Amino acid sequence: MDTSYPREDYLPTPAHKRDAAPTVLSPPPRDHLIWSIFNTIYMNFCCLGFVALAFSVKARDRKVAGDVEAAQRFSSKAKCYNALATAGSVVLPLLLVALVITGVIHLSKLTQESIGFFTYQLSGTDEE
């Protein structure tokens, strides 16, 4: 057994060589944490705000750990869930208000016709 150092399989690389390609720094991915907190607290539609908050926290953790690819994936998922939660929380109440308004209009027309029908049946002018 050979215990002499340095071994042949270990060849240190020279420190003075560098890569010729310059590194391009891209901005870190956004984690959408504030938007997720807002959706979780105020407009939590089908727990989508909570799911977006979970992905936002994962994106922030991956960004701090230096894993930019995973941070971008989690950030993209958080953005998607936040958009769905916001759209659902804005569209559904508007749809409900529209349905209530059309229901009230329909019921008012129905009662007008019913009143007209019953006053015609019960009037005293039909005795001839």
Token readout for 61 is: 């953790």
b/e string for 30-54 if b means 16 or more Cβ within 10 A? bbbbebbebbbeebbbeebbebbbb
CA distance 87 to 65: 32
DSSP 125: G
Per-residue pLDDT tens for 42-97? 877 788 999 999 999 999 999 999 999 999 999 999 999 999 999 988 888 899 99
**Looking at the predicted structure, is the pLDDT value of residue 37 above 90?**
yes
What distances in angstroms separate CA 38 from CA 44, 62, 82, 110, 125, one per listed residue?
Answer: 9, 22, 9, 43, 66
